[in-house]
Amino acid sequence: MKKRRKKSKVYFGTPVHDAIIRYNHSNSPSERNKIYTEEIHAAFLKLAENIINTFKFSYFSYGFRDLQEEVVSNLVINMHKFDETKGSKAFSYFSVVAKNYLILNNNANYKKMKIHDDIDVLYGHGEKDEIIEKNPSLDIFKKTIDYFEENVERLFPKQPDKEIAESILYLCRNKDNIDNFNKKAIYIMIREMTDVKTSKITQVTNTFRKIYPKIQEEVLTRGHIDNLTYTGSLV
C-alpha cells in the first residue's frame, strides 16, 4: 500500500496575495504594519531564500542573511507597484521583482570587481581572473587612466618611458576590444608597439603601481582627484 504523500504547505498562496492587496489599499499605518508583520513578512523571507538558493548569485560580498534582508527590503519598497487588476499573481510578480533585483546587483558587483581586476593587471599583480579588492568605485578605472594621461609627460619625462606609458594607457582604454586582457598579453603587445625589453616595461608599470593607491584614496574619499601631486619621475 502506497503511503499518501504529505501536501507541502504553500508559503505564498492566496492568503498572502490577498494580504498584499489589503495592505496596498489601506491608509492606516498601524493596519499596514499589522498586515505586513503577521501575513506578508514570512512569505517574503521564504521567497527571497528560495530565489537566492536557486540561482546561486556569486558576486555579493556579504552573507546570506544580509542578502536575504536586502531582497525583502526591496520587495517591500515595490509592494505599492503590484496591481491585482492586471491579472498577475502576487507570487509571480514578486518572484520576478526579487530575481531582477538580484541579477541587476549581481551584475553590478561583477563589473566593480572586473574594474579593479583590470587595474590590477595594469600594475602587474596577476592575471585577469584574480580579484584583488571587493568594493571598488565604479569609475575608479576611468579616473585612474584620466589622471595618468593628463600627467604622463611629468611622470615620464624620458621619451622611451613616455611611449611605454602611453601604450599601456591606450591598451587600457581599449581593453574591451582585447580578447585576453592580462599581464602576459599586455607585455607582448607593448613590446610589439615600443620595441623595448620587458624589464623596461616593468619599470613603467611599477610607477603606475606606486601612484594608484593615492588615486584610489582620492576617488573613494572625495569622488575626484584634486590634491595628488608627485614631483619628478618615478622611473
Residues 18, 106: one domain? yes
Residues 29, 88: one domain? yes
Residues 91, 144: one domain? no
Residue 196 lies in a domain: yes
pLDDT band at 207 (very low <50, low <70, confident <90, very high): confident
Residue 7 lies in a domain: no
Which three cell numbers, joined as nine digits, stand for 88? 498577475
Residue 230 lies in a domain: no
Boundary (domain end) residue, out of 75, 110, 145: 110
139 Cβ contact list (under 8 Å, min separation 6): 219
Residues 31, 95: one domain? yes
pLDDT of 117: 52
Residue the block writes with cell 551584475: 107
What rounded mean pLDDT belongs to the chain? 75
pLDDT of 146: 83
220: nearest Cα among 155, 154, 111, 133: 133
pLDDT of 137: 46
Phi, psi of 162 (to 5 degrees): -60, -40
Residues 98, 178: one domain? no
Residues 82, 160: one domain? no
Domain that holds residue 77: 14-110
Residues 165, 106: one domain? no
Residue 91 lies in a domain: yes
pLDDT band at 127 (very low <50, low <70, confident <90, very high): very low
Boundary (domain end) residue, out of 95, 110, 125: 110
Residues 159, 92: one domain? no
State how many domains the chain has.
2
Global model pTM greater than 0.95: no
Residues 171-183: what's their mean pLDDT?
69
Boundary (domain end) residue, out of 72, 91, 110: 110
Residues 47-76: what's their mean pLDDT?
81
The C-alpha atoms of residue 225 and residue 203 are separated, in whole angstroms, by 24
Residues 185, 147: one domain? yes
Residue 117 lies in a domain: no
